[in-house]
Amino acid sequence: MRKHPESERPVSEQQQPAVQFGIFSVSDITQDPTTGTTPTEAERIRATLTIARHAEEVGLDVFALGEHHNPPFWSSSPTTTLAYIAAQTERLILSTATTLITTNDPVKIAEDFAMLQHVSGGRTDLMLGRGNTGPVYPWFGKDIRQGLPLAIENYALLHKLWREDVVDWEGTFRTPLQGFTSTPRPLDDVPPFVWHGSIRTPEIAEQAAYYGDGFFANNIFWPQDHFARLIQLYRQRFAHYGHGTPEQAIVGIGGQVFMRANSQDAVREFRPYFDNAPVYGHGPSLEDFSEMTPLTVGSPQQVIDRYAGMRDAFGDFQRQLFLLDHAGLPLKTVLEQLDILGGEVVPVLRKELAKNRPAEVPDAPTHESLVQAKYGDEQARQPRPGANRGDNLVGDRPYEDTPAPQGSAFGVKR
Domain boundaries, the chain: 20-393
- Looking at residue 137, what is its pLDDT? 72
- Tell me how far apart the alpha carbons of residues 309 and 290 are, in angstroms, rounded to a whole number: 15
Distance CA 28, CA 335 (A): 17
How far is it, in rounded angstroms, from Cα 187 to Cα 402?
Answer: 25
Indicate the SS3 state at residue 240: helix
The angle at the Cα of 102, spanning 101 to 108, to the nearest 5 degrees, equals: 55
- Residue-averaged pLDDT of the chain: 88
Residue 232 pLDDT greater than 50, yes or no = yes
pLDDT at 15: 57
Best CA proximity match to 102, nearest among 136, 70, 73: 136
Specify the range with the lowest mean pLDDT, choosing from 98-102, 385-389, 400-404: 400-404
Cα separation, 297 vs 269, whole angstroms: 10
Q: How much is the average pLDDT of 251-266?
A: 97
Question: Lowest-confidence range among 85-99, 141-155, 324-338, 362-376?
Answer: 141-155
Pairing type for strands 193-198 and 125-129 reads: parallel
Report the pLDDT averaged over residues 162-180: 94
Q: Which residue has the higher pLDDT, 241 or 75?
A: 241
- Residue 14: the pLDDT is 42
> Residue 403: is its pLDDT beyond 90?
no
Phi-psi region of 110 (alpha: psi -120 to 50; beta: other; left: phi over 0): alpha
The whole-number average pLDDT for the span 35-49 is 97
* pLDDT tier for residue 199 given thresholds of 50, 70 and 90: confident
Rounded mean pLDDT, 119-143: 84
pLDDT value at 314 more than 50: yes
134 vs 111, more confident: 111
In angstroms, the CA 193 to CA 334 distance is 28
Question: 405 pLDDT exceeds 70?
Answer: no
pLDDT of the residue at 385: 66
Higher pLDDT, 225 or 332: 332
Predicted local distance difference test score (pLDDT) of residue 222: 76
Confidence (pLDDT) at 345: 98
- The CA–CA distances, whole Å, from 347 to 64, 254, 320 equal 20, 18, 13
pLDDT at residue 381, as a whole number: 83
How far apart CA 237 and CA 239 sit, in angstroms, is 5
For the residues 208-228, what does the mean pLDDT come to? 90
- Identify each DSSP E strand in 66-105 by its residue range: 93-96, 99-100
| Residue 379 CB partners (closer than 8 Å, separation 6+) | none
CA–CA dist 124, 173 (Å, integer): 27
Instruction: Pick the more confident residue, 225 or 215.
Output: 215
Rounded CA-CA distance 67/60 in Å is 21
Average pLDDT over residues 154-166: 95
Q: What homologous superfamily does CATH list for 20-393?
A: Luciferase-like domain (3.20.20.30)
CB 219 within 8 A of CB 257: no
Least confident of 73-77, 335-339, 396-400: 396-400
Q: Which of 10-14, 192-196, 386-390, 397-401 is the most confident on average? A: 192-196
Q: What is the pLDDT of residues 56-95, one digit of tens each?
A: 999 999 999 998 888 888 888 999 999 999 999 999 999 9
Question: How far apart are the C-alpha atoms of 363 and 312, rounded to whole Å?
Answer: 18
Predicted local confidence at residue 400, as pLDDT: 42
pLDDT confidence tier of residue 386, bands split at 50, 70 and 90: low
Q: Residue 250: its pLDDT value, please? A: 98
- What is the pLDDT confidence band of residue 398, given thresholds at 50, 70 and 90? very low
pLDDT in tens, 293-309: 999 999 999 999 999 99
Q: Give the pLDDT score at 168.
A: 95
pTM: 0.89
Mean pLDDT, residues 324-343 taken together: 97
Q: What is the DSSP string of 149-176?
A: HHHHHHHHHHHHHTT-SSEEE--SSS--
